[in-house]
Homo-oligomer: A and B are copies of this chain.
């Protein structure tokens, strides 16, 4: 027996029309090289309607990929809606990719047009000839004083010449592709994740739920996380759905610029990778950030010490979320629950250092990477975190990498290894490929890094495996000393000794200037492994002892 409810598809067209109809008075603010500009949603919506016409005029196919090579701006938000609301597919290109990756991705996705912020033209222009399917480049002038190649069109001119689309946007099938984003894999070619309208809508609803971001009409949201990175964690669509005010940082992503915008606009929710919050921490002194109610952080495990510093200096800790391009990205969130209230502040900091509980309608299981057995949620057993749900990828675009990354029963292998407690609070231990196998036992490099980063004189730390004759692999700690501090290898080991099992202690500590990062701000251990490839150590005499 079937239900008798209306067959209304879950599509982003509703998000657009709702924002246009009820939230026309709300603001979209964007910082640019030549100052800050503010537009109302009503004005923005007319521009989206004009842009819809422009896409037609440019001859973009009915389901053509619309590439964007842009910062976080209100204009990027126009593309976020105009492409999917007209049945096209928004393809956000990562501006930090290596040129060859960028070329590969645009060709693989068969982008027909690329919209590019003028300040980014110098990155894109040299590659233009290699982008085989791109017929049109459209430059969005952000005040940057850089030359534009001949034949590239001007965004504002196109919009001014276009009649606004007059009707209601309709996408009939909620499984229609809405957007795509390539994963910045550290090995192999990038792989395309294709979001559907259904997945984008459900994910947006999750951003509104109280125990996730809890986005409300009253919020003022500044997404530091790039809009080319997994939909900026769903913040843009979520804000439109909730009617929240949006503040976009534009090209200037310095900590100085961010902290000023947070203060000036009385931002309530912001989100970005740990590096951003590390850089901003020293600048929060004397700033009025009292409107902030949530500092979202993801992309890499958040050091406990960083979150604690924010709690002490800014008044709220960092809220950790975990996910990846393949998970839209919200999979888990560490919003504290009522059973944590009885804990000490110190214990609560431990909870906040976890990646948190699965969001509603995300299924998570922990699977032993060796045996394939599902592990219990006892906070001891570790396993690869596998995810299932309506906004989790089932395969990559054009079927690539399928066998390795998806299980036979349709779950995503996230490549992260962790434990989970009985309340579902996941704790990341490592990436499967970064796990250090010492004498047949796993050492979690992320766990070890977190302990090292708890040292007050350590800014960042990455732990990698180095070959060992006796133990096969042993940990090497690569440590970045905090500015103005000095610390020795012995001090690090001494600090770790009461905190980890004896056989987990790194065999060596190397001091480095910075941890190399991938294009989305994650630790690039591949680079470190290359650098320290020849390292030789003996390792401990046994695996016993705590």
Contact = CB atoms under 8 A, between A and B. Distances in A.
Nearest to A15: B360
B391 A1 contact: no
A410 interface: yes
A347 interface: no
A205 interface: yes
A511 to B, nearest CB: 42
B208 A217 contact: no
Copy count, this protein chain: 2
B337 A2 contact: no
Nearest to A360: B241
A196 interface: yes
A391 B3 CA distance: 10
Contact of A205 (B338, B360, B422): B360
A86 B423 CA distance: 25
A390 interface: yes
A540 interface: no
Given A10-B361, A22-B423, A377-B21, A205 B195 contact: no
A394 B18 contact: no
B21 A424 contact: yes
Interface string A446-482: 0000000000000000000000000000000000000
Nearest to A9: B390
A209 B208 contact: yes
Contact of A211 (B216, B361, B391): B216
A9 to B, nearest CB: 8
B392 A6 contact: yes
Contact of A5 (B23, B195, B217): B195
A111 interface: no
Q: How large is the interface on A (under 10, 10 to 19, 20 to 34, 35 or more residues)?
A: 35 or more
Contacts of A199: 3, 5
A3 B392 contact: no
Interface-centre pick from A9, A25, A209, A357 (highest chain B CB count, 10 A): A209
B177 A397 contact: no
A173 to B, nearest CB: 8
Interface string A1-30: 111111111100010001001111100000
Contact of A337 (B24, B217, B391, B392): B217
B209 A6 contact: no
Interface in A371-427: 377, 388-397, 410, 412, 422-424
A82 B384 CA distance: 32
Contacts of A396: 4
Given A210-B216, A422-B24, A388 B8 contact: yes
Contacts of A208: 208-211, 360
A397 B214 CA distance: 36
Given A4-B177, A25-B422, 11 more contacts: A3-B177, A4-B194, A4-B395, A5-B394, A6-B388, A6-B392, A6-B412, A8-B390, A205-B209, A208-B208, A208-B209
